Amino acid sequence: MRDSLGFLLQVNRIAFRLFDSAQAFLDELPPAGSGCLLTDVRMPEINGLELVRRLRGQGWDDPVIVMTGHADVALAIEAMKAGVSDFIEKPFDEEVLLTALRVALETGQVRHEAGQALHEAQRMVASLSPRERDVLGGLVEGHANKTIAIDLGISPRTVEIYRANVMNKLQAKSLSEVVRKALLVGLGR
């Protein structure tokens, strides 16, 4: 089954790696954001659902597709609760599997990029001084420089300097980009 799936993926130009067992996969755990996992429920030593639970327990959040030849509603529910993105019953049509893989890969890529954007925004916001964060808070609330100056007890010119520093540190070209990054990290909610 593993070899025939490898052939199907190769023919359809989907990059893949095959592993002999769940433990072999865990031993060489690819970094998160590298794709998706296609696994069977029934495997020796570590079954597919236990593999998913271990991965999720380690913070590995790439999409997982589980396939099985012995499906029932309870198993499907257990798989979804474990964090799988799709559950496919064998025998399956090749197009069903290929569609599920493409959706999972696209979803995983979008989620990975969003996670990277969040991490980058958090890093940038963390680089702000306390006063710069105060000014950022005023900007997120939609206040003008003059209002921020009054609220903070500083001059409008000083607010302008802090605002320029915030834009520089957040690598933002516009106020909307500053606000978007601040909201991404949870400021101003």
Percent pLDDT > 90 in the chain is: 63
- 79-125 tens-digit pLDDT: 888 888 888 888 888 999 999 999 999 988 888 888 889 999 999 99
Q: Is the pLDDT of residue 55 over 80?
A: yes
Dihedral, 97, 103, 107, 113 alpha carbons, nearest 10: 100
Query: What are the residue ranges of CATH 3.40.50.2300 in the chain?
Result: 2-112
CA distances from 132 to 138, 144, 161, 167, 188 (A): 10, 15, 9, 10, 14
In terms of Cβ atoms closer than 10 Å to its own Cβ (0-12, 13-18, 19+), residue 181 is: buried
Q: Is the pLDDT of residue 148 over 80?
A: yes
Mention the CATH class of domain 127-184: mainly alpha
Rounded to whole angstroms, the Cα distance separating 164 from 183 reads 18
The arithmetic mean of pLDDT across residues 6-30, rounded, is: 92
Residue 189 confidence (pLDDT):
58
Residue 168 confidence (pLDDT):
96
CB 22 within 8 A of CB 45: yes
The arithmetic mean of pLDDT across residues 171-185, rounded, is: 92
Give the list of residues 6+ apart from residue 152 with CB closer than 8 angstroms, or none. Answer: 131, 134, 135, 138, 159
Residue 139 confidence (pLDDT):
93
Rounded to whole angstroms, the Cα distance separating 104 from 90 reads 18
Report pTM. 0.67
Q: Is the pLDDT of residue 134 over 80?
A: yes
Mention the CATH class of domain 2-112: alpha beta
Residue 158 confidence (pLDDT):
96
CA 188 to chain centre: 22
End-to-end CA distance of the chain: 50
Query: Which of left, alpha, beta for 131 (phi over 0: left; psi -120 to 50: alpha)?
Result: alpha
Residue 174 confidence (pLDDT):
92
Residue 120 confidence (pLDDT):
94
Query: What are the residue ranges of CATH 1.10.10.10 in the chain?
Result: 127-184
